[in-house]
Structure 1
Amino acid sequence: MSRKMKMLLTLAGCLFILVAFAMLMIQTIDKKILSEADIKKIIAKDYNGNITNIDLINHKQDYTLTLENSNGIYQIIASSSSGQMKEMKQLKSYQKPNEKNAELQAEEVAVKKVKGTVIQKKEKSDRFIFTIQSKKELYQVDVEKDTFKVIEAEKKKPTSKEKKLTKITVEEAIQIAVKEVGGTVDDADLETFSGMLVFEVELDLPDGREAEVLVNAYTGDIEGITYEN
């Protein structure tokens, strides 16, 4: 192929590219761009809130809008010709943690303050109240709702209602006591020992002695054993 022919082919290729580019530009220019008012109406049909900002981007192919409502602030990208949404992402959230999550956070704080088992939960306007059975004592821990700070943590005597909130049954307490010292059961009652709720299990041993076993009503731990001849 002659040099002249190569040059002609190259020029023809360049001309074709220029024509195609020109046609594309004409199509882009001729494409109808929705007004800001129109695009706002389209977005408002599907999303509640106030549009606080709107701009054309991507060589006027898209609109970017900032939408604000009770849930937060969002950025929306929509086609400038059709109004179809292409992308939406949340920039800021106004939603508060739900009550369950708030209660769980408060419970974590309470148990960190007093290690033990939460046996009862209450809620007031400004705080969560947890009753916690520790290894040796019963505590009430109050945690502030807004800050999740411990307002107070103090020992308390178990109420009649709390005495019913045992984690183990009397039958389970008897099994624990018999496994520990043996013998046969004479009696088993729910009692308070050093501020702690326990099952007091009395056993008759094979050697003629009697044993009194204190079983923690929440954890099942043995808190004490007394032998009598």
Structure 2
Amino acid sequence: MNKPIKAVSFAAAAVLAVTICTFLIIRQTHEDVLSKEAVIKKVEASYEGKVTKSTQSKDKKTYEMTLENPKGTYFLKADATSADILSMNRVKAMNPSVMTEKEAEHLALKRVPGTVKKRTHKNRVATYIIQKEDGKTYEVKVDMQTKTVLSADQISNKDQQKTPITKKEAKTIAERETGGTADDADLEESEGTLIFEVDVDLPDDKEATVKINAYTGKVANIVYED
């Protein structure tokens, strides 16, 4: 074999070797790349959202995705071989709707079943005073934006002194119901419910005791004394 033929053969062998090596490298690279489905599954599990769009880069090294979850919409890049997040940017923030007062009250009663005695609403927090069947009273606070119960605390006897109905109002109610003059009013607990017990002086030197619900202002009963 002459020299020109040997040179051509050597060159051909070199080209073939380079081609084979390149093919093996590309093949190995492609074998290491995760499928789009596998990457999406890992991303959705990590960020508790839904991937709505996914494309692979031309060099097959990354996936570009659009992810939506309760906090907003995100654009992210994930490594094609490990599914690790290379970059992540929120492109749209979610604005969760605020629940209605009726929905907030339902949530409060779900946490503490009973009767709502008082309702207040300040900013995005709704507060409910709820009395259970066993007579215990709770203050339940609901965040109307996040739709969660912030607290549900039992009100102690000391805290229950702060009632919607004042002693003066209780005396006025007792006088209106009996037509007499209220002498004194004491806050007491009866069967798990706070009441004002008002002593009333009636005409002809008679007396009456009026029991008034400290939260609703309703008269529970009236006892007349000779």
Q: Same fold (TM over 0.5)?
A: no
TM-score by length of 1: 0.44
TM-score, normalized by length of structure 2? 0.44
